[in-house]
Amino acid sequence: MDKALYDKGLGIRKQVLGDDYVNRNTNTATDFNRHFQEMVTEYAWGGVWGDEALEKKTRSLINLAMLAALGRGVEFELHFRGALNNGCTLDELRSTLEQIAIYCGMPAGVEAFRIARKVLDEQGGD
């Protein structure tokens, strides 16, 4: 493991997804999934999210589109929260979800808006 890349990834992962979520996943890792958690942190968060060619806001919007297209609602919800943490505005999020509906199909758009509404309601947002 590249310790510097892992540490960078851990910081970014916590910034985007929140300390509680990340600590829960890393602190409860078992022998079975510990290496996977390390890979996610090092490669996905340190290697990809740590590349400064794209802003975190942009990465968040891209992730939302991909997760909606793949029908990954649980991950979509997690990354919708992350998009808010990364400073995505409601207008940017709405526009992204509308584009999801057009390019991925209305059912994907409906699900994306449903999940977004749930998160926003929980956070007391619009």
74 lies in the same domain as 107: yes
* pLDDT, tens only, 94-108: 999 999 999 999 999
- Stated pTM of the model: 0.90
47 lies in the same domain as 75: no
Q: What is the number of domains present in the chain? A: 2
For the residues 111-117, what does the mean pLDDT come to? 98
80 lies in the same domain as 121: yes
CB atoms within 10 A of CB 31: 6
61 lies in the same domain as 114: yes
Which of the four pLDDT bands, split at 50, 70 and 90, describes residue 115?
Answer: very high
Q: State the chain's mean pLDDT as an integer.
A: 95
* pLDDT, tens only, 6-45: 999 999 999 999 999 999 999 999 999 999 999 999 999 9
